[in-house]
């Protein structure tokens, strides 16, 4: 039975897209050391990324951009990125297993599994593909939007990121619907309004 695993990376950051991956593993090609991507070193994730892409029966990436996150909310944008990942698979699954407790609307039977990225190899593989893809994207965006440290914190709300955000203000890839960014923009608007007065 062809089972696709889905997981996402990037629900919590203040900047950048949310990225999901869908993976159908090949039972004839074993991949060792699959686990939740957050529990693996960067070197191990990168190595497994290449192995998964080579050995999986099918894999695909889906994403939702910052404007979609701000318009839809992060949960709906995440589910949309999952739908896009599954829709891009070259092989149709019989069933889809998703990490967490929310399922995207799909034309296949879907089951949400809490801690699935630790329990289900297909979801672990998807977790790794999503994490590595998003991390690489944030390293690229760091060059496009220098000064924020995206290559280090990947957009997550670290102290360093928040300090840069206060100093430089939000850039185009910051999520304006997220409280720390929204509050900063509101403060700027108040100051601008008072300046006009």
Q: Give the pLDDT score at 191.
A: 41
Convert the pLDDT of each residue in 95-130 to its tens digit.
999 999 999 999 999 999 999 999 999 999 999 999
Mean pLDDT over 75-94 rounds to 97
Q: Give the pLDDT score at 188.
A: 52
What is the C-alpha to C-alpha distance for residues 118 and 129, in angstroms, rounded to an integer? 14
pTM equals 0.92
Asked whether residue 155 carries a pLDDT value surpassing 90, the answer given is yes
Phi, psi torsion values for 171, nearest 5 degrees: -105, -175
The overall average pLDDT reported for the chain is: 93
Mean pLDDT over 121-148 rounds to 98
In the chain, which residues fall in CATH 3.30.420.10?
3-142
Mean pLDDT over 53-74 rounds to 98
Q: Among 65-79, 149-163, 175-189, whose mean pLDDT is lowest?
A: 175-189
Q: Give the pLDDT score at 186.
A: 79
What CATH code would you report for 3-142?
Answer: 3.30.420.10
Mean pLDDT over 28-54 rounds to 94
């Amino acid at each position: 039975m062809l089972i696709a695993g889905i997981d996402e990376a990037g629900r919590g950051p203040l900047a950048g897209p949310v990225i999901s991956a869908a993976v159908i593993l090949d039972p004839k090609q074993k991949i060792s050391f699959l686990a939740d991507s957050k529990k693996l070193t960067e070197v191990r994730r990168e190595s497994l990324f290449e192995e998964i892409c080579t050995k999986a029966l099918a894999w695909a990436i889906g994403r939702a951009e910052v404007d979609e996150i701000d318009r839809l909310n992060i949960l709906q944008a995440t589910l949309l990125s999952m739908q896009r990942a599954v829709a891009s698979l070259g092989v149709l699954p019989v069933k889809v297993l998703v990490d967490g407790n929310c399922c995207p609307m799909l034309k296949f039977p879907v089951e949400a599994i809490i801690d699935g990225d630790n329990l289900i190899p297909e979801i672990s593989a998807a977790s790794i593909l999503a994490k590595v893809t998003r991390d690489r994207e944030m390293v690229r965006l760091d060059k496009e939007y220098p000064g924020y440290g995206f290559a280090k914190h990947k957009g997550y709300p670290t102290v360093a990121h928040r300090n840069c955000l206060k100093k430089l203000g939000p850039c185009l890839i910051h999520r304006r619907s997220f409280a720390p960014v929204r509050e900063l923009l509101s403060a700027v608007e108040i100051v601008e309004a008072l300046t006009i007065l």
